[in-house]
Structure 1
Amino acid sequence: MNIYLAMASLAVLSAPTPAALAQPTVDSPLAMRAGDPELQWGSCPPIFEGDCAIAVLHGNPSKPNSDVFLRIGGGTSLPAHYHTSAERMILVSGRLLVDYQGSSPSILEPGSYAYGPPGSVHTAACLGTKACTLFIAFQGPVDALLAENVVE
């Protein structure tokens, strides 16, 4: 069963969903900071338990080519999952351990870039007590599927 970040059920019904936070695709320049008080953060889907939030920066997560910030609390881990889209990531804050199946684990520091090919199973953990904020550019629609759904 596909679990879509953009359309996932919310743990807190009053929190806005990433799809509801979709930003119009604009033809003019756009600049935002991760700490901007005007960013609208929505809850992560239930597969990402704990301290986790998403802010849509540009585009509609249910369509190709959207950009998001993903924020997870210090000490929070994300379970083994994959995306049907490629993801291009830059860590904005914190220290993040990213472990792609079949590759050596990497510790990302602020400014680090990582690329995840479509279908690549991986885990992530925010190291230490400071929250991790990750910029992610998705090539296709935004989704996150538990690795147990992988058919080999």
Structure 2
Amino acid sequence: MDLMQFHRMRTAIQDNASPGPEQELVTVEGSLRYMLLTSGLFEEVEVEHTDDPDQLVIALCQFKPEVAAADVARRLEEIWADRVSYSFWEAHATDVMSDHVEFEAATRPSTVGGYVTVHLVAQRAVIPAQRSAHDAADNRQSSLS
């Protein structure tokens, strides 16, 4: 599903339901954090919840430089479908670039429950540049002065 289709579906759910209670947000936040940390794909993971109905749970991650962004997107979809979203209803969309993945999702536990929305951005981790021997010598020289 593309982002425009997803946004239309999310808006329809938001028009017909209320955001989930804080305990629900905390549960989704914790499940998402745990699954991201244990996936083996990410070097850094930050997850929290907000008051913004379009992104009640937000996450920022850095994926390992050697992993393809398309593989990260595929794994995020698996994590969402298998471990985080509710079985009653869910929708999600991904936007994949060479160095980052944007994942937006919404889920609802039942016809009477509130909804939870997620916005996750995963960026490729940067490999630190090696210092040249010249730079290292300059640093040693300036520290001796």
- TM-score tier, shorter chain, comes to under 0.3
More strand by share: 1
TM-score by length of 1: 0.27
TM-score by length of 2: 0.28
